[in-house]
Amino acid sequence: MDRRDFLKTTAMAAATAAAYRLALDGDSAAAPGDGPPAIDGVRWDKAPCRFCGTGCHVQVGVRGGKVVAIAGDDKAEVNKGLLCVKGYHVGLALYGKDRLTRPLLRRNGKLEPISWDQAIEIVAERAFGNPAGFAIYGSGQWTIPEGYAANKLIKGGLASNQIDPNARLCMASAVTGFLSTYGVDEPAGCYDDLDRADVVLMWGNNPAEMHPILFSRIIDRRARGETVRLIDLTTRRTRTSGFCDRTLIFKPQSDLAIANGIAHLLVESGTYDRAFVDQFCNFRKRTDPPSLQGDASTFEEYRQALAEYTPEKVEDISGVPAADLRMLAELFGRRDLRITSLWCMGMNQHTRGTAINDLVHGIHLLSGHFGKPGDAPTSLTGQPSACGTVREVGTLAHALPGGLVVANPEHRKEAEEIWNLPAGRIKDKPGYHTVEMWKRFSTAAEQGGDIDTIWVQVTNPARTLPNASALFDPSRRLPGKFLIVSDVYPTATAMAADLVLPSAMWVEKNGVFGNSERRTQQWFRMVQPPGEARDDCWQLLAVARKLHDKGLPGMKDKDGKFLFRIVDDAGQEVPVWDWRRYYDVNVDQQLFDEYRRFTRFKHKDLAPYAEYVKARGMRWPVVEQADGTWRETRFRFARFDDPYATKADLQFYHSVTKDDRALIWFHPYEPPPEVPDAGYPMWLCTGRVLEHWHSGTMTMRVPQLQRAMPQAYVEMHRDDAAALGVADGEVVIVESRRGKVEVPVWIDGRGQPPRGSVFVPFFDETLPINQVTLDAFDPLSKQPDYKKCAVRVRRRPVGTP
């Protein structure tokens, strides 16, 4: 090649690169040579789905600076190229016509546009004026760097611990269940169990709609000729039931009795796995008040406590025939079967949530159905990063990143060291859990309402808090209470706020999520956010910097440097609080790699950010190998796979009892706090539907999803409808002691509740069922029960339009 040809080739390469950049909206991420090729001008890149905790990977097709198509990602192990209807339409969630594009401030009752400078100043003033009364209410839909920044800002900066996430409402009981049983959070198994299990038992779970990809992963095995037995333990027939071999309908709350009934039969018939129990388990009983540690117990005590849970008595409590209980116990008693239990909100949103989680782990341990592929008690999460951002980053009022807690002086010391803070900066007293935080925000300062500002990010508490008329609404009338909401659409919460900050969403920003099977997933920004919308993480950093400039001492580390020091390659600080400079460096990468240092304490090791760029997610602990590669762990505590389990086939290396054993708990059946009576004769259960994500603020703006399920409804048994004299479609009043909502009847509906119970989904912002639900919660996890309360259903007065 002569010099001229060389010059020509180089020039052409430069011109082509520039043409790409110009054509694709100035997005440097789309330059050629460093991404997949473009066909029809469409560039494809990976991202985890924005919606549920399954954590599928999608391929996002971008052209002209806009998302134009979505495909399942063939290289993703979770979904192997398949998606559910939400996932296929996730790209449309960005383009609802009413995206928030400017900061808005409430003046004289009206939200009016203001500048970002003003908005950040206002937030900073609220925090500066009363740091102790300033709380952040976050989300399992936060990215890991966002949650980490918020956590550090509150716990390391404002030194108050007033941060809690909406995930408190969805998986706190799963956390306490894991902590009390294994001493460390999150499932030991993973989705691979579903490919191997002979029996899948679903405890109050409807994965056909809520975790569709996992459900297909199971039932598609049947299409391939494999045998897998599905058993549905549920309080109403759902889409899942249709695919199950057995559907056992039980009375609300009686899952506690069923679990004890199974354990009783295992013990009495001697079919429990004695060798397993002797080697790997200790027994535990409750303390009063309840605690995660409990008191030591023995097999004999356990056996006696179970004695009253005979099949007949359990049938009495639960309505599940004794023969079916025996069938369940026989399955668990067999060593030749692999059994996986799945559960989600049914067991977690429970005033005895910790107890039922413990009991289900207990059955698996007692029968030795644990630690082999296909033998696993696996809790599923609802949100895409409830595990990643909430449980692992510790954005809970009592937690620190990496499974550490504020109450432990050693843990505080570790955190202060990583954050380079003066000793004693982090406070030992946990902040308020969700229900308490909102209660205090909805109570006047004089009456003890010591939270005066809440900054909400990525969630819609006006519609998702239980008993919203008591926990949320009063704050909007009390003077001195200031609500800040970062969101992408005018949600019910945003519209009630004093200050609204427009956010970037999903592929409009860099991000990292962590799904239900300990899988950490990274993606890059692919398109620009609309108008003046900006990253939630930037918002947090900008406020932190403003507080720093105002002289709040907490915003500096012990060397006087800014708490969030982001640097360039040369080690020079980059002023990322200036939005124009925010993407000069990869802020996510720097926050993530700092956070990573926390993950080694509890053996939740993460790889460096750069490794996740290459992968479709990796399951922690991710451990570096001798050859410099990084290896993920599928089966925790199992010697054949977990590098930290070295002493025995199974090693519970964070055991509560410090002897590498897991705990089998006994908890009695206890009735729920509110049961139907003469005044309120029916059970109300709430939940989701396939098409919609949480309160519907995104999916209700996607035409295909909204058309398929355009409005909430109350599902009712045909005989109850007959007794009331209502027809399909008739609008009725569903009311409890706390509130009411008017909603059309769908006899049977998507699911089929048994007589005496109704179901209302919560996706519809216009029909807020959480005005009706109960705010009673589990004593340990503080997670409220959305699944059962007493209501009555009435016809509307004649002549109501």
Partner 1 sequence: MTVSALVLTLDPEPVSRTRVLERLRGDARLCLGDRVLDRLPVVAMTTSCAAGDALFGELGAIEGILKVDVVAVDFSEDV
Partner 2 sequence: MSEPRRTGALEIGMVCVVAVAIVGLISGVRGTGRDVRSYVASQPAVDTQVAARSYADERAAAHGPNAEAAAGWFGGLPGGPDPFAPVVQSAQDRADALARRATRRAFDGAPPTIPHRIDQHGVPACLTCHDRGTTIAGVVAPRMSHERHDSCVQCHVVATDPRPGTVTPPAPDNGFVGLAAPATGERAWPGAPPTIPHTTRMRERCDACHGVYGALGMRSSHPWRASCLQCHGRSAELDQRAPVAIPRTP
Strand partners, 43: 62
Residue 37: count of CB within 10 angstroms of its CB: 9
Catalytic residue from among 55, 382, 388, 394: 382
Cβ atoms of 792 and 679 closer than 8 Å? yes
- Closest residue to ligand SF4 using C-beta atoms: 87
Catalytic residue from among 59, 162, 349, 383: 383
Cβ atoms of 59 and 45 closer than 8 Å? yes
CA dist 340 and 378 (Å) reads 7
Local structure of 133: helix, strand or coil: helix
Q: Which stretch binds partner 2 (CB under 8 A): 137-145, 215-223, 380-388, 620-628?
A: 215-223
Q: One-letter amino acid identity for 329? A: A
Least separation in angstroms between residue 422's CB and partner 2 is 32
CA dist 613 and 524 (Å) reads 9
Least separation in angstroms between residue 349's CB and partner 1 is 49
User: Residue 52: which of partner 1, ligand SF4, partner 2, none does it interact with, CB under 5 to 8 A by kind?
Assistant: ligand SF4
Least separation in angstroms between residue 18's CB and partner 1 is 4
Q: Which stretch binds partner 1 (CB under 8 A): 3-11, 393-401, 407-415, 790-798?
A: 3-11
CA dist 656 and 295 (Å) reads 11
Catalytic residue from among 170, 244, 537, 555: 170
- Chain positions 727 to 746 lying near partner 2, rule: CB under 8 A, are 727-731, 744, 746
86 catalytic? Reply is: yes
CA dist 565 and 556 (Å) reads 10
Number of residues that bind partner 1 (CB under 8 A): 19
Q: If 0-12 CB within 10 Å is exposed, 13-18 middle and 19+ buried, where does residue 223 land?
A: exposed
Cβ atoms of 237 and 246 closer than 8 Å? no
At residue 437, what are phi and psi to the nearest 5 degrees?
-55, -50
Of 709, 741, 774, 780, the one binding partner 2 by CB under 8 A: 709
Tokens 């995206």 identify what position?
Answer: 99
Measured from the CB atom, is 175 or 721 closer to partner 2? 721
Measured from the CB atom, is 22 or 307 closer to partner 1? 22
Does residue number 49 form part of the binding site for ligand SF4 (CB under 6 A)? yes
Does residue number 64 form part of the binding site for partner 1 (CB under 8 A)? yes
- Chain positions 643 to 702 lying near partner 2, rule: CB under 8 A, are 690-691, 700-702
Cβ atoms of 359 and 665 closer than 8 Å? yes
Least separation in angstroms between residue 90's CB and ligand SF4 is 7
x/- contact string, 74-103, with ligand SF4 (CB under 6 A)? Answer: -----x---xx-xx----------------
Of 213, 342, 404, 689, the one binding ligand SF4 by CB under 6 A: 213
What is the maximum span of the chain, computed from C-alpha positions, in angstroms? 95
Does residue number 84 form part of the binding site for partner 2 (CB under 8 A)? yes
170 catalytic? Reply is: yes
User: Residue 153: which of ligand SF4, partner 2, partner 1, none does it interact with, CB under 5 to 8 A by kind?
Assistant: none
Does residue number 72 form part of the binding site for partner 2 (CB under 8 A)? yes
- HSE-CB at 676 with a 13 A cutoff on CA atoms is 17
Beta strand residue intervals within 586-633, DSSP E: 618-619, 623-624, 630-631
Does residue number 244 form part of the binding site for ligand SF4 (CB under 6 A)? no
DSSP string, 191-238: THHHHH-SEEEEES--HHHHSHHHHHHHHHHHHTT---EEEEEESSB-
Of 1, 2, 4, 569, the one binding partner 1 by CB under 8 A: 4
Measured from the CB atom, is 523 or 683 closer to partner 2? 523
752 catalytic? Reply is: no
C-alpha distances (whole Å) from 418 to each of 156, 702, 740 are: 11, 43, 49
x/- contact string, 757-796, with partner 2 (CB under 8 A)? Answer: ---------x----------------------------xx
171 catalytic? Reply is: yes
Query: Dihedral sign, CA of 601, 359, 633, 372?
Result: positive
Does residue number 23 form part of the binding site for partner 2 (CB under 8 A)? no
Of 15, 327, 610, 727, the one binding partner 1 by CB under 8 A: 15
Does residue number 70 form part of the binding site for partner 2 (CB under 8 A)? yes
Does residue number 457 form part of the binding site for ligand SF4 (CB under 6 A)? no
Tokens 């990322």 identify what position?
Answer: 576
Catalytic residue from among 190, 244, 281, 345: 345
Q: One-letter amino acid identity for 728? A: D
Cβ atoms of 752 and 714 closer than 8 Å? no
CA dist 623 and 640 (Å) reads 15
Least separation in angstroms between residue 492's CB and partner 2 is 16
User: Residue 55: which of partner 2, ligand SF4, partner 1, none does it interact with, CB under 5 to 8 A by kind?
Assistant: ligand SF4
Category of 394 on φ-ψ map: left (φ > 0), alpha (ψ -120 to 50) or beta: left
345 catalytic? Reply is: yes
Does residue number 54 form part of the binding site for ligand SF4 (CB under 6 A)? yes
CA dist 732 and 684 (Å) reads 14
Asked if residue 621 has a cis previous peptide bond (ω within 30° of 0), the answer is: yes
Q: Which of 795, 773, 787, 772 is nearest to 721 (CA)?
A: 795
Pairing of strands 682-687, 789-795: antiparallel
Cβ atoms of 622 and 607 closer than 8 Å? yes
Of 24, 52, 55, 59, the one binding partner 2 by CB under 8 A: 59
User: Residue 795: which of ligand SF4, partner 2, partner 1, none does it interact with, CB under 5 to 8 A by kind?
Assistant: partner 2
Least separation in angstroms between residue 712's CB and partner 2 is 10
- Chain positions 93 to 152 lying near partner 2, rule: CB under 8 A, are 94-98
Of 18, 423, 567, 613, the one binding partner 1 by CB under 8 A: 18
Asked if residue 103 has a cis previous peptide bond (ω within 30° of 0), the answer is: no
- Chain positions 30 to 49 lying near partner 1, rule: CB under 8 A, are 38, 41
Of 47, 78, 82, 380, the one binding partner 2 by CB under 8 A: 82
Q: One-letter amino acid identity for 442? A: S
Does residue number 140 form part of the binding site for ligand SF4 (CB under 6 A)? no
CA dist 547 and 130 (Å) reads 12
Does residue number 63 form part of the binding site for partner 1 (CB under 8 A)? yes
CA dist 278 and 368 (Å) reads 11
Binding site residues, partner 1, CB under 8 A: 3-4, 7-8, 11-12, 14-16, 18-20, 22-24, 38, 41, 63-64
Binding site residues, ligand SF4, CB under 6 A: 49, 51-52, 54-56, 79, 83-84, 86-87, 211-213
Catalytically annotated residues: 86, 170-171, 345, 382-383
